[in-house]
Amino acid sequence: MKAKRYAYYPGCSQHGTAAEYEVSARAVADKLGITLVEVEDWSCCGSTPAHTVDHVLYGALAARNLALAEQMKLDTMVTPCPSCLIALKSARVMAQDKEHLQELRELIDLPLKGTIEVKSLLQVIFEDIGLEALTAKVKQPLTGLTFAPYYGCILTRPPQLAQFDDAENPVSMDKIIAAVGANAPDFPFKTECCGAAFGLAKRQIVQTLSAKVLAAAEAIAADAIVVACPLCHQNLDLRQEQVNAFRGARSRMPVWYITQVVGLALGFSPHEMGLDKHAVASDAILAKWETHLKEHAQ
């Protein structure tokens, strides 16, 4: 199979607090025949802070990256991060308007067409690779494990912008989890908010909202929560101790990136997938998996 080539926009988190998302995303892409060509010298998309200042500034910060990607002569840019995704997509929509396009061009001082397609890595795995091709490459099914698929807010919302999956009941991660041999029961909190970027300034918001997500995952007896967003991961994993203190719980719920789930099934080791980089250890779930694999082998 000829490798599909995409312009790749990692986003700032991938080089920092989401380092394991980056490692697993690249490894999984490679194994699935997806060639990720990193956009040279990409810059921050502006994210939430920029759109609280001005929509044109928000558009311009993201548009610089669209312009750089367009120079690569590839038709699609892919990013693992939902916040980058929505910023890049918003800039692309903005560029469809002639007046705004001119404004953006002047601000970034680069040629810009606004024609490059923008997709999440999840969408590329789910639609461009597909479940059939994914299933065919599974080396070690994640039998016996139960995951709570947590999509968060903006992977599928607002639907006019996201143009992917279902806004109210997304199923792409559910199906990917099933394709690699694990269980993904109905998870009623799959699109609820984790508290987003309020961890620093309004911690109680994150504690209140993430507590609900963690409790909901426990209620369906999940071995781990699966996310596709660095910020959701930060709130649920890195801040889990803060959330526990707030809700009077002693939860030790591992939080995995979807690429770590897929990578493990494709034959990578937990260490190769950076599963040892989380705040909440994955020892219990990995031991459970090993036991299942042994039983299966007998």
Partner 1 sequence: METIQVESIDKGFIATVERESGQQVAQCYQCGNCTAGCPLTFAFDIPVHQIMRLLQVGQKDRVLRSHAIWLCATCETCTTRCPREIDVARVMDVLRILSRRAGTVSEQGVRAFYDSFLDSVKSHGRLYELGVIMKYNLQTKRPFTDAALGPKLLGKGKIHLLPGTIKGAGAVKEIFKRFAHKRRNEG
Q: How far is the CB of 203 from partner 1 (least distance, A)?
A: 8
| Residue (202 or 296) nearer to partner 1, CB | 202
Q: CA 201 → CA 54, 114, 193, 197, 206, distances in Å?
A: 21, 34, 16, 8, 10
51, exposed or middle or buried, with CB in 10 Å at 0-12, 13-18, 19+?
middle
| Residue (86 or 264) nearer to partner 1, CB | 86
Q: How far is the CB of 177 from partner 1 (least distance, A)?
A: 23
Q: How far is the CB of 189 from partner 1 (least distance, A)?
A: 10
Please tell me whether the peptide bond between 170 and the residue prior to it is cis, using omega within 30 degrees of 0.
no
| Residue (19 or 220) nearer to partner 1, CB | 19
Q: Go through 58-86 and write b for each residue having 16 or more CB atoms within 10 A of its CB, e for each that does not.
A: bbbbbbbbbbbbbebebebbbbbbbbbbb
| Residue (64 or 92) nearer to partner 1, CB | 64
Q: Which residues bind partner 1 (CB under 8 A)?
A: 12-13, 15-20, 41-44, 46-57, 60-61, 64, 106-109, 153-154, 157-159, 167-168, 191-193, 195-202, 204-205, 208-209, 238-239, 241, 276-277, 279
| Residue (11 or 149) nearer to partner 1, CB | 11
Q: How far is the CB of 128 from partner 1 (least distance, A)?
A: 25
| Residue (50 or 134) nearer to partner 1, CB | 50
Q: How far is the CB of 94 from partner 1 (least distance, A)?
A: 11
Q: How far is the CB of 58 from partner 1 (least distance, A)?
A: 9
